């Protein structure tokens, strides 16, 4: 289509019981771009229902209930995310295509799974902490195991505080918990004898907790030296037990991954959908019984949407539809109608080039078709090589068909790569270059040209200058200038039509990119071409040039005259003369620079040919020695082509984008529109 798709604004009044299913349907298929609450309220009538919608207390009460539900959903998502991270299960970042809103049964399942995995995580954390304490105590005890000093004096000689005594086994777990990481309790045998170990700085806390737990100290035999063997044995036994428990926990975690991994992903996707709906509902106009949804929909999808929403709600829905010119905010300029473009596969691949510069205004000409054609043509001219173009074509196929992995990240570039790869291959056939080799296509080219033209030629188009003749090179540069004239002219026509449709008469007829500027540009080209072909400058050329320049000089007052604005000289006579002269100078210089700028297309095509010639010549030179020579030649060809594809390919792409932005878009992109961005659960790939 040459224009964006027609849009309508619709208002839906939906009962509370139906709103989630309505929003779910809209978000699943990306049908509606919602407007802000203020815009929905301002156009509400004064009937009883609408007066209820205006009541702030009810609205706040409703939002409060929605907020409670929204916070609960966020808490569940956070819980699922935390426990999935513990299991090492990657979760989706958005709802799946087959996701559905969670039910009460799924909410119970989510809470139960979160609790189970959390318990396992807490058990693992406690075991890891205990393992660390036991290891530290064991290292400290072993360091003093051979010390020949009375045990009673170890408390004064080392950094380890030891207490041996009796403690009720029932209280041992509570004591371990209260001590935390400050000390460790080691059972000595199967009875109630224990050994408590702490760092020197933690001995006071240890003694305090032992006293609370009714710890009964035991006397160590007089003359006993070193660290008791029971301590080392107890620590080692406890360490082995903790290690075994950690292994059991790890096995349980692996079982949880298999059992709960898919469920966690499904539940997360469902709750992400619920979260998106909850976020939207918090911004909607609402009463205790109903919600109002206002937004933009593609006109062709309004009737199917209405039919489906009536089916979903059982007819419990009120729908109003407005054309853009019926929307007060659009008429007074406070709101822009969002723009949705409709294209085939080839043109759609270049939409991002347009939207990266700006969205066209609603109702204006859609430039994407021209961008696709010009982008492909310019790239092909500057990057002509069959082999290198085939590499780009292959990359386009890989990115287009990749489902996941590295190439899937660049899926949006698939169509442009296919297009420019094909164009480069065509240009490569014309210049006779295959991976910088200019000899492979000589024989078939001579056969084809001999059959077509009666005399064989080595190649259809020769960019490298021939000795004693530059005619073909000048003709090629003339061709690139012609391409530039066509692109500039299309931009001017788009600008004239857009401003005419919008009834902006000054920019349509009197501006430098309007009809007056276009007539000057076209007549100057016609005159120059006529003189170049042997004609002479004539009196009517003066009229042809001065008439549009005069209109440009008086563009401001003429525009105000046509638009009915007064006074004609808004800022006085002196400012008028200054603006007029500046307008003429700027128009002449911009048209010259915009046209000459396309010489860079020929220059880059020539530089590509020169670089390919250098690579081919260098590879031929190093390939002359026997045995290893061919290997060196192939290596040089591979490295040279990789450099050309990566470096020059990137430079050519940048130059093409620059020509589109500064020479083409600048003619008509004077005001940006708003891209249609419907509410959806999944981002488009």
Q: Are residues 373 and 467 in the same domain?
A: yes
Q: Are residues 307 and 353 in the same domain?
A: no
- Contacts of residue 668, defined as CB under 8 A and 6 or more positions apart, other chains included, come to 364, 365, 367, 491, 492, 494, 495, 498, 513
Q: Closest by alpha carbon to 338, among 327, 347, 349?
A: 327
Q: Are residues 174 and 319 in the same domain?
A: no
115 located within any domain? no
Euclidean distance between CA atoms 252 and 255, whole angstroms: 5
pLDDT of the residue at 43: 36
| Residue 291 and residue 11 in contact, taking contact as beta carbons nearer than 8 Å | no
pLDDT of the residue at 60: 57
Q: Which two tokens stand for residue 456?
A: 């064989």
Q: Are residues 354 and 486 in the same domain?
A: yes
| Average pLDDT, integer, range 242-246 | 90
pLDDT of the residue at 231: 63
Last residue of a domain, one of 331, 362, 379: 331
Selected residue with higher pLDDT from 152 and 553: 553
| Residue 321 and residue 279 in contact, taking contact as beta carbons nearer than 8 Å | no
CA distances from 147 to 204, 220, 226, 230 (A): 24, 16, 5, 16
Percent of the chain with pLDDT over 70: 88
Residue 416 pLDDT greater than 80, yes or no: yes
User: 668-685: per-residue pLDDT in tens?
Assistant: 988 888 999 999 887 654
| Residue 342 and residue 5 in contact, taking contact as beta carbons nearer than 8 Å | yes
Count of alpha carbons within 13 angstroms of residue 380, beta-carbon side? 24
- Contacts of residue 467, defined as CB under 8 A and 6 or more positions apart, other chains included, come to none
- Element (DSSP H or E) covering residue 339: strand 338-339
**pLDDT band for position 56 (cuts 50, 70, 90):** very low
- Edge to edge, the sheet with strand 193-199 lists 183-187, 193-199, 160-166, 216-217
pLDDT of the residue at 429: 92
**pLDDT band for position 630 (cuts 50, 70, 90):** confident
Peptide bond into 567 cis (omega under 30): yes
Q: Are residues 367 and 491 in the same domain?
A: yes
Q: Closest by alpha carbon to 297, among 580, 685, 594, 35?
A: 35
358 located within any domain? yes
Average pLDDT, the chain: 84
31 located within any domain? yes
Q: Are residues 618 and 576 in the same domain?
A: no
Q: Are residues 157 and 217 in the same domain?
A: yes
92 located within any domain? yes
| Residue 321 and residue 8 in contact, taking contact as beta carbons nearer than 8 Å | yes
Q: Are residues 350 and 431 in the same domain?
A: yes
| Average pLDDT, integer, range 234-247 | 85
CA distances from 559 to 318, 331, 361, 569 (A): 46, 22, 22, 11
pLDDT of the residue at 627: 66
Q: Closest by alpha carbon to 263, among 115, 89, 95?
A: 89
| Average pLDDT, integer, range 207-213 | 81
| Residue 604 and residue 649 in contact, taking contact as beta carbons nearer than 8 Å | no
- pTM for this one? 0.76
Angle between helices 229-281 and 56-87 (to 10 degrees): 140
């Amino acid at each position: 289509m040459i224009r964006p798709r027609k849009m309508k604004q619709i208002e839906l009044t939906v009962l509370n019981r139906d709103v989630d299913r309505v929003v779910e349907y809209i978000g699943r298929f990306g049908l509606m771009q919602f407007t802000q609450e203020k815009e929905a309220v301002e156009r509400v009538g004064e009937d009883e229902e609408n007066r209820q919608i205006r009541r702030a207390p009810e609205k706040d009460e409703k939002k409060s209930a929605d907020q409670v539900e929204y916070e609960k959903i966020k808490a569940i998502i956070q819980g699922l995310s935390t426990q999935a991270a513990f299991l090492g299960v990657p979760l989706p970042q958005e709802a799946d295509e087959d996701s559905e809103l969670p039910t009460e049964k799924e909410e119970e399942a989510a809470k139960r799974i979160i609790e189970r995995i959390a318990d396992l995580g807490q058990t693992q954390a406690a075991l890891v902490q205990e393992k660390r304490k036991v290891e530290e105590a064991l290292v400290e005890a072993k360091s003093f195991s051979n010390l020949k000093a009375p045990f009673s004096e170890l408390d004064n000689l080392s950094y380890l505080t030891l207490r041996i005594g009796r403690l009720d086994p029932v209280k041992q777990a509570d004591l371990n918990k209260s001590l935390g990481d400050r000390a460790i309790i080691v059972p000595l045998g199967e009875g109630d004898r224990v050994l408590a170990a702490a760092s020197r700085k933690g001995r006071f806390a240890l003694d305090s907790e032992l006293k609370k737990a009714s710890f009964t100290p035991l006397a160590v035999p007089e003359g006993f030296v070193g660290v008791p063997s029971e301590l080392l044995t107890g620590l080692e036994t406890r360490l082995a037990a903790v290690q075994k428990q950690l292994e059991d926990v790890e096995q349980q975690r692996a079982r949880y991954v298999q059992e709960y991994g898919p469920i966690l992903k499904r539940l997360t996707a469902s709750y992400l959908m619920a979260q998106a709906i909850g976020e939207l509902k918090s911004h909607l106009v609402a009463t205790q019984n109903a919600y109002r949804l206002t937004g933009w929909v593609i006109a062709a999808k309004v009737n199917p949407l209405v039919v489906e929403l009536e089916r979903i709600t059982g007819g419990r829905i009120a729908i109003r539809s407005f054309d853009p010119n019926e929307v007060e905010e659009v008429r007074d300029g406070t709101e822009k109608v969002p723009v949705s473009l409709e294209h085939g596969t080839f043109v759609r691949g270049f939409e991002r080039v347009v939207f990266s510069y700006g969205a066209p205004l609603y109702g204006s000409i859609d430039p994407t078709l021209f961008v696709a054609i010009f982008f492909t043509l310019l790239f092909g001219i500057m990057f002509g090589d069959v082999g290198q173009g085939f590499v780009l074509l292959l990359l386009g196929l890989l990115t287009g068909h990749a489902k996941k992995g590295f190439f899937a990240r660049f899926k949006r570039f698939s169509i442009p790569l296919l297009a420019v790869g094909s164009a480069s291959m065509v240009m490569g056939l014309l210049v006779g270059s295959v991976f910088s080799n200019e000899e492979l296509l000589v024989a078939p080219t001579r056969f084809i040209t001999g059959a077509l033209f009666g005399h064989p030629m080595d190649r259809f188009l020769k960019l490298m200058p021939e000795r004693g003749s530059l005619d073909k090179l000048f003709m090629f540069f003339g061709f690139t200038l012609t391409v530039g004239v066509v692109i500039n002219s299309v931009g001017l026509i788009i600008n004239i039509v857009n401003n005419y449709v919008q009834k902006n008469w000054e920019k349509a007829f009197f501006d430098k990119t309007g009809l007056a500027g276009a007539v000057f540009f076209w007549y100057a080209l016609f005159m120059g071409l006529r003189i170049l072909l042997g004609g002479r400058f004539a009196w009517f050329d003066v009229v042809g040039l001065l008439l549009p320049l005069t209109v440009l000089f008086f563009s401001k007052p003429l525009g105000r005259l046509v638009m009915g604005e007064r006074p004609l000289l808004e800022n006085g006579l002196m400012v008028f003369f200054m603006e007029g002269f500046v307008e003429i100078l700027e128009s002449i210089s911009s048209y010259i620079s915009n046209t000459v700028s396309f010489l860079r297309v020929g220059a880059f095509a020539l530089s590509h040919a020169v670089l390919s010639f250098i690579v081919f010549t260098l590879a031929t030179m190093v390939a002359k020695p026997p045995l290893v020579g061919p290997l060196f030649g192939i290596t040089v060809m591979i490295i040279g082509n990789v450099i050309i594809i990566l470096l020059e390919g990137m430079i050519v792409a940048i130059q093409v984008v620059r020509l589109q932005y500064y020479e083409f878009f600048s003619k008509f992109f004077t005001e940006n529109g708003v891209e249609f961005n419907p509410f959806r659960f999944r981002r488009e790939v």
